[in-house]
Amino acid sequence: MQTTHLRHLLTTEPTLRRPPSVDTPEAHAAWSRTLRATLARLARVTPAPLGVAATTTTTAEGLRRDRLTLTSPVRGTFHGTLLAPEDTTGRRPAVLVLGGRHARMEQLTGETPPDFPDRNVAEHLARAGFVTLSIEHGIGGGLDEERRAGRDEGTLLAHAFALTGRSLLGALVGDALGALDLLTAHPLADPERVGLFGHSLGAAVALHTALLGPRPLPVCAASHLGSYPALFARLLTGHEGAVLPGVLEYADLPDLYAALAPAPLHLQYGTADAYLEPADARAAADAVRRAYATASGPLEVRELPMGHGTHVGHAVDFLTRALAQPADAAADVPAQRIHFDVADRRAILDRVDLALASGHLTQGPELARFEDRARTWTGVAGVAVASGAAALEIALRIVGVADRTVLVPVNTFFATAAAAVRAGARVRFVDIELDGLGLDPAALRTALDRYPDTAAVLPVHIGGIVSPLLGEVVALCAERGVAVVEDAAHALGATLDGRFAGSFGRFGAFSFFPTKVAVSGEGGLVTCAGADPASDAEQVRRWRDHGKSAQGSTLHDRPGGNWRLSELHAAVGTVDLERFDRTLAARRDLAAAYDELLDGVPHLRAHTVPEGVRGNYYKYLAYLDGPVDRALLKKRLRERHGVALAGEVYDHLLCDQPYFTRTAPEAGTEAGTGGGTEAETGAGTRGGAEAEGPFPRARWFARHHIALPLYPTLTRAEQFRVVAALRAELS
């Protein structure tokens, strides 16, 4: 019998069950994030904002009743009802009410007498002073009764959703999230005091809505407690619409409730409930209690002498307490937020699965797809490698810089210069210009004169800006037969006069590290735009694969390295590149919003992107004017306002890095690496600012700039918060 197989499966421990080792609030929060991410993948909720096509408002017996015709791009037209006390003038606490499987809208809201005394939960809550919104589940009356032949409509719908790899619960949660947005935005509702109530199936929807929603919310769940093995195998009372397919592989029902902590939670169940088993429910409640004790969250569990119903009084009391005050302050605004939505994550998982099934884990079809996608944003062919640093080193080895000089801007990441060192070069530093943050042509000319053995120059596109003076840099190098290798790690998709970063020099080097504008986890790309790009690309391929004379060969004609990009990393990068047009548009829109919001903030001015440049806003840069302590400002923004600024680019010059100060040559010698002299720096600073020592412009920039948080999922509210915090601290 298959029941034997089922019993075997049910004894398998869920992989994300909350372990005893989760014994601190921080550990609980990390576990909760992991579980929520898994649930989001299983639920596959389709974002579907709800519209209101029609409203009919009536008042009677002290209540205002808005009958709503709602529209959803995925569900079509359905109905909801908003209730509020008739005398409501200001904003009130609000509750999204999600009834059970057989709940009817008119009974939930008290428009008709309820078939059970506690069915009209929405009416009770409204009479207690709440604004409530109730919506139809839409799992009754939609299928032809004759063809249904007595079978449960919800079950049939759940099976049909499964054919698409989705779930009925995911669809119900999508409706609930849309309704939650509608309720939060309603003029009668206080958006800072919103909660969820659910009974039976509605409790399952409320639970998952809270887990997958954008912020913590109080939840009141009635008659939905126990373990999935008991409900679906032993008691046979579970409903397909109340679970996500595959969830028990990862977590049981008590784990899901536990993951809500520390948000306020009220659980109630009846000892006479034919759908539950009291001992099983008690065990589940104990597991939730342990989690809430660790997370220091408010939890109420009520074991009541009732059947499959709701104790409305306890629900009203809990929600009254939970929503008495506005919710805690919004979550911190991080410096960086890396986000793949569920559709992207599933696309990556599918491609990784194909790679694993094929056994081809490196330099396969996903790598070729990644390289092809990248060309859209570089304008020239590229070869994928293991990292941005590997891209630089390979390019410099092909140029042939060993025992010769490589000129590097003094204001860049350590890896730029380190790649030249590993390729055998002597590194010398050059000052920058402050409009495009690129190499200063005058300082570069001086350095080229001083170091006639220069083999390569590495301009860097700081912050995703391609300097308008890059053309002069390239021309200077061409005059002297010096190769240009662009460090475009920051600059994917950025352009100068319509031409992409990475297409100006012989080579361009890109990074797909997690902090960059497009990511593959670890990865890089070498673009080839010289006189013979096909030959250069072939050389890159040989260098990245241990110097093999041809792919698959056992002969090696150069000391290459293991600089390959795996199929697994390429899968991540390809999916990210497929959405990169949206990423780039979002970054530019957010930057434009900052440009407006920062107007008038004292002691702060945004970096002006030069004419002809379209940056990708890897960083949104601004300058602190006057005697502002940057470290203290960052500390206060973080501690007082929950706002983290992004990292600088960069706060220390290369000439001040311990490695280069330790290996710098004595004055007048040619050995080792150089820290820079007046002959290399040029002169002057922007706006009359003064800087001590060599490289005055780079040093001024390193000391005065900040980088505001900017990433595609940054919200307008978070931008307002960032600017308000800056204004408060700089005023």
The confidence score (pLDDT) of residue 669 equals 28
DSSP string, 453-522: TEEEE--B-GGG---TTHHHHHHHHHHTT-EEEEE-TT-TT-EETTEETTSSSSEEEEE--TTSSS--SS
pLDDT digits (tens, 9 = 90+) for 434-445: 999 999 999 999
Residue 214 identity (one-letter amino acid): P
The confidence score (pLDDT) of residue 690 equals 39
Distance CA 619, CA 701 (A): 14
pLDDT digits (tens, 9 = 90+) for 717-728: 999 999 999 999
**Mean pLDDT per 10-residue interval, the chain, length 731 residues:** 83 92 95 97 91 94 96 94 90 96 91 87 96 93 84 88 94 96 95 96 98 96 97 91 96 98 98 96 98 96 97 97 84 93 94 94 95 98 98 98 98 98 97 98 97 98 98 98 98 98 98 97 97 97 94 91 97 98 98 97 97 98 92 97 96 96 52 36 36 80 97 96 97 90
The confidence score (pLDDT) of residue 251 equals 97
- In 3-state terms, what secondary structure has residue 269? strand
What topology does CATH give the domain 581-730?
Aspartate Aminotransferase, domain 1 (3.90.1150)
Nearest to 208 by CA among 240, 244, 236: 244
The confidence score (pLDDT) of residue 677 equals 34
Region for residue 480 given its phi and psi (left: phi exceeds 0; alpha: psi -120 to 50; beta: otherwise)? alpha
Residue spans per domain, the chain: 26-322, 342-578, 581-730
- The maximal CA–CA distance of the chain, rounded, in angstroms, is 97
> Which residues lie below 8 Å from residue 478, measured CB to CB, with a gap of 6+?
none
The confidence score (pLDDT) of residue 567 equals 97
Q: To which residue do tokens 């200063």 refer?
A: 440
Residue 102 identity (one-letter amino acid): H
What topology does CATH give the domain 342-578?
Aspartate Aminotransferase; domain 2 (3.40.640)
User: Could you confirm whether domain 26-322 is CATH 2.102.10.10?
Assistant: no
Distance CA 342, CA 249 (A): 18
> Which residues lie below 8 Å from residue 652, measured CB to CB, with a gap of 6+?
702
Same fold, 342-578 and 581-730: no
pTM value > 0.85 = yes
